[in-house]
Amino acid sequence: MSRNIQDVVFVDSVRTPFGKAGSALAETRADDLVVKVFRELLRRNPDLPADRIDDVAVAATTQIGDQGMTIGRTASLLAGIPHTVPGYSIDRMCAGAMTAVTTLSSSIMAGAYDIALAGGVESMSRHPMGDGMDPNPRFISERLVDTDALVMGATAENLHDRFPQLTKERTDAFALGSQRKTAQAYAEGWIQRDLVPIATRSQDQGWGLLTEDESMRPETTLEGLGQLKTPFRPHGRVTAGNASGLNDGATAALLASESTADDLGLTKRMRMVGFAFAGVEPEVMGIGPVPSTTKALERAGLSIDDIDLFEVNEAFAVQVLAFLDHFGIADDDPRVNPMGGAIAVGHPLASSGIRLMNYLSRDFERHPEARYGITTMCIGLGMGGTVIWENIGHDGSKA
């Protein structure tokens, strides 16, 4: 039996507000965070019969405890999705949710699925980075990777070494911009549209309600950024101010073939054009989005000049600037992260890929003149991932 290649559309996405590790969401189970975003997606899309979902994939970097036990399946059952809908787990470190989207989309493209649900979660409170890891000693003893490869902040310092033009002054200025753009997007009500309020509980402080990202610092100044410590190297350049924090949060996205979305009357926010993942030296993992974007553009028959909007994950400001420098894009180009990014709102590892897509879908809504956009991110142990999207609401004008 032959199958036709199907176009994949991004129907909708939501996320929890991102909490600071050890704070508002510290006593909330990771699987319960996924349940909340799944239920909200189904509530927002009442024309979707839940039993029409073909598969569920949820990513987590640390797959133990409440982030283990095939969380794609367990969270689906807990959310009330029919038991006839299967589910599984994914791990590609920071690009877990991105990989959940691309893996499920590949099945839709091939005609094996019509509708799929992707998600990502990370509770860095309950499962700190590296919790339960047992790296093979051969990595170090046989010098397969540099020791810095296992410390993300050290890899960011290495990028500063490799590209001296990426100064601390530039990274601090970029970080300040992220905070200001995030504050502006909140003021205009764009980010709140896709946030799912989360009831919080604390043995010390009782019950509460988290309705916005906890890490934001709109009062940030360049002077204040310049005085922060450099924890990864004496007299270094990476600080808590020009890097993303340690966070808790979950994201979810609804994907469908375009024909199925039309049949069910589902919203179509953007269409997947293509994607690519690429590997780089683990000790400079932040450069990963450069080859993955190059590969994705080549496969799609596009150039960087065709891209009207960029959502680049801000794991570290230096890694975003390395990407921008490579492609000749100015540090303050308004096409880049128009609503701010992870430096301001946080980076709960495996969940962040869908957060980027969520932002891009809203970027497209705000900019109907934009036709193509990308979501891209660096990935631990030396990788990059990029997805190219087309604005279904493109009005035909030139961006």
Q: Sign of the CA dihedral 237, 242, 244, 246?
A: positive
| Residue 41 CB-density burial (10 A; 0-12 exposed, 13-18 middle, 19+ buried) | buried
- The single residue of 127, 160, 367, 378 carrying the catalytic annotation is 378
The set of residues, in sequence order, having a beta carbon less than 8 Å from that of 387 and lying 6+ positions away, is: 98, 101, 102, 272, 274, 275, 296, 357, 374, 375, 376
Q: How far apart are CA 352 and CA 380, in angstroms?
A: 13
- The single residue of 160, 347, 367, 394 carrying the catalytic annotation is 347
Beta strands, E only, the chain: 8-15, 19-20, 55-59, 87-90, 115-123, 198-202, 206-210, 247-257, 270-279, 309-312, 372-379, 383-391
Q: Considering only CA atoms, which of 117, 113, 49 is closest in space to residue 87?
A: 117
- The single residue of 94, 127, 367, 394 carrying the catalytic annotation is 94
Residue type, 277: F
Q: How far apart are CA 314 and CA 344, in angstroms?
A: 9
Active site residue 394: no
Asked if 71 contacts 351 with a C-beta cutoff of 8 angstroms, the reply is no
- What values do phi and psi take at 123, rounded to 5? -110, 95
Q: How far apart are CA 146 and CA 135, in angstroms?
A: 13
Q: Which residues are catalytic?
A: 94, 347, 378
